[in-house]
Chains A and B, each alone.
Chain A
Amino acid sequence: MTSQEPSLPPPQLNDIDRLVHEPSRLMVLANLYVVDSADFTFLMNQTGLTWGNLSSHLTKLEEAGYVRVIKEFVDRKPHTMLSLTEAGRTAFQNYRQQMQHFIQALQSE
Chain B
Amino acid sequence: MNASLDLKNLERKAWVSYHQDGLFDLYLGLLLFCIAITNSLLEVGLDSWLRYLIFFILLGGSWLLFWAGKRFITTPRLGQVKFSAARRKRKVQLAIIMSFFVLLNVLLLFLTIGARNNPDTWGRFMPQAELFGLFVGVYVGSAVALIAYFKDISRGYYMALVYAVTFAAVEIFENPALYWIGGALIFIPGVVLFVRFLQRHPLPPSEVTLDQPGA
Contact = CB atoms under 8 A, between A and B. Distances in A.
Interface of A: 23-24, 26-27, 30-31, 33-49, 51, 55, 58, 69, 71, 74, 78-82
B215 interface: yes
A79 B13 CA distance: 24
B207 A41 contact: no
B80 interface: yes
A79 B210 CA distance: 8
Given A30-B5, A37-B81, A46-B14, 9 more contacts: A27-B1, A34-B84, A35-B81, A41-B204, A42-B79, A42-B81, A44-B79, A48-B2, A80-B211
A39 B3 contact: no
B1 A38 contact: no
B207 A46 contact: no
Interface of B: 1-3, 5, 7, 10-11, 13-14, 17, 76-85, 201, 204-205, 207-211, 215
A37 to B, nearest CB: 5
A75 to B, nearest CB: 10
A107 B213 CA distance: 49
Contacts of B81: 35, 37-39, 42
A60 to B, nearest CB: 14
A80 B11 contact: no
B1 A48 contact: yes
B51 to A, nearest CB: 37
Q: Which 10 pairs from chain A and chain B are nearest by CB?
A: A41-B79, A42-B79, A34-B11, A36-B82, A80-B210, A38-B81, A39-B80, A48-B1, A78-B211, A39-B79
B80 A35 contact: no
B130 to A, nearest CB: 48
Nearest to B207: A51
A30 B25 CA distance: 30
Given A43-B79, A45-B201, A35 B208 contact: no
Contacts of A43: 79
26 contacts: A23-B1, A24-B1, A26-B5, A30-B5, A30-B10, A31-B14, A33-B7, A34-B84, A38-B79, A38-B81, A40-B208, A41-B204, A42-B14, A42-B81, A44-B79, A44-B204, A45-B17, A46-B14, A46-B17, A51-B208, A69-B210, A71-B211, A79-B209, A79-B211, A80-B210, A80-B211
